[in-house]
Amino acid sequence: MEPEYGADVHFSPRSCDGKIPRRSGVPESSARLERYAAAMIELHPHDMAHGGEAVARSDGKAHFVAGAMPGEVVVGTVIEDKGSWARVALVEVREPAEGRRDAPCPHADLCGGCQWQFADESIQRDWKRTTIIGQLEHLGRVASPLVHPTIDTGHQLAYRNRMDFHIVDGKPALYRARSNDLVPLSTCLLLAPPLQEVFDRLGDLGGVSRLTLRCGIRTNDTVALIEGETPDDVESWGVPVIHVDGTSLRTVIGDPVLSEIVDDVRFEIPPEGFFQNNTYGAETLVSLVRDILEVTEEETLLDGYCGIGLFGATVGRDAHRVIGMDSSPRAIKYARRNMAAAGVDAHMRTGSMTRDIESFDEYWDVAVVDPPRKGLGERGVAAVTSAMPRTIAYVSCDPASFARDTRLLAESGYSFIEATPVDMFPQTFHVEIVGRFDRALLGDDEGSDE
């Protein structure tokens, strides 16, 4: 799940552990480029790697090229050589592939936030689906996995309800690709309209070290969080402002209320806490989880890694009862509020899913889990399956950890049925996955390629 404000975030798409890997393929310095200038090579990319780079093979070695597309002829320079593989900085596209376009953002060539603005969104979605299939086959050992086409949430730009910035030269900035250097921004095309309005009002931020802008797309609630000095013109931003000092929050201006509406439920959100940063995508996730679980009014739903209760307060309205757990006491506080507002009978606890799940004195019939980027792991799988739920809906933001957990779930008696990618983060290689796992019949290892 995406980290709370104050974590080391370069630009987090939910980022389950908070970090977007910086785009590969751009040298960190001119000196480094000169060092590899003699290594110019022509490549013919044939695939996209997990991580967003195109893959080409030459002289028996895999070459990873950011900014290239399968089917192209490109020229680049080697900037990192690891023997069996190399990373290449793109210099020229000699023969472009169908679907290549000019990036809409003026900062796309330098900013590490978006990796794929050069490609049509339909192609981006195909790449994401292909990556998931490959990870399930390789790491999950699933033969011919059923992965549906990636769902388009309908918003290719202006979809983010949260953005975290560093500050350089008094301006909001994001990291340069493959570098610790910061790129000052005059605009960011991913900002939802309420955030863009605030961004356009920003003056000199010279004393600020970090800035987070958040909003509810359906409610228009908007807040700003700052670290460092408070700008003199902060009132002109026109939104509530919170000063962050470590874990301490202090309201500077206004009444910092943050809420969002998903599936007709109004969620209260702690200004510094986690919520899916694409509201349109969150709505899609809820719909998919509901369809997978088909919860009945006699059943108990486990909402694992529940955060503020997105799934429990929506899908849980169909259940007899919801039990939920999260490691954040503040998230559980808000989850209880949101469950009550939705009219859900819920038992929410602070604790570790891997250590404290046995504290519940009741079983669950179905489960939805939305773990951090690292996934469930052996202990998480053991915890979720301990009550032998009939169906598990697994929400993931990392194809590799999802695939590894698919294998672990199979070993625990749960068959992989299907997965649906959701394009929560257009213009980037990041993708959300909703998978279905059913408790297998005795002796049934269908879907696992031994």
Q: How much is the pLDDT for 442?
A: 58
Shared-domain flag, residues 335 and 206:
no
Structural domain span for residue 285: 128-153+278-439
- Regarding whether 140 and 83 lie in a shared domain, the answer is no
Q: Examine the domain organization and report whether 225 and 290 are in the same domain.
A: no
Do 246 and 313 share a structural domain?
A: no
- The per-residue pLDDT of the chain, averaged, comes to 91
In a domain, 270, yes or no: no
Q: Greater confidence, 37 or 423? A: 423
Residue 271 lies in a domain: no
If you count them, how many residues does the chain have? 450
Q: What is the pLDDT of residues 250-297, one digit of tens each?
A: 999 998 889 999 999 999 999 999 999 999 999 999 999 999 999 999
Distance, in Å, from the CA atom of 87 to the CA atom of 22, rounded to the nearest integer, reads 13
293 and 254, same domain (yes or no): no
Does residue 47 belong to any structural domain of this protein? yes
Q: What is the CATH number of the domain that holds 80?
A: 2.40.50.140
pLDDT, one tens digit per residue, over 327-363 is: 999 999 999 999 999 999 999 999 999 999 988 888 9
In the listed set 198, 230, 259, which residue is the last one of a domain according to the structure?
259
For the chain, the domain total comes to 3
What pLDDT is stored for residue 179 in this prediction? 84
Q: Is residue 376 part of a domain?
A: yes
- Can you give the CATH number for the domain in which 311 is found? 3.40.50.150
Which of 206, 224, 259 is a domain's end point? Answer: 259
How deeply is 296 buried, as exposed, middle or buried, from its count of CB atoms within 10 A (0-12, 13-18, 19+)?
exposed
Q: If you ran DSSP here, which 8-state letter would residue 153 be given?
A: -
In a domain, 369, yes or no: yes
**CA dist 150 → 61, 133, 371 (Å):** 31, 12, 21
Average pLDDT over residues 25-39: 55
- 1 pLDDT above the threshold of 90: no
Mark whether 397 and 315 lie in a shared domain.
yes
Q: Which residues, 6+ apart, have CB-to-CB distance to 190 below 8 Å? A: 113, 114, 157, 158, 159, 160, 163, 427
Q: Verify that 319 and 409 share a domain, yes or no.
A: yes
- Regarding whether 140 and 191 lie in a shared domain, the answer is no
241 and 96 both lie in a single domain: no
Of the candidates 67, 63, 113, which has an alpha carbon nearest to the alpha carbon of residue 88?
Answer: 63
Instruction: Calculate mean pLDDT across residues 228-237.
Output: 95
Residue 87 and residue 178 share a domain: no
Query: Which residues 6+ apart lie within 8 Å of 330 measured at CB?
Result: 270, 273
Angle CA 382–394–440, to nearest 5: 60
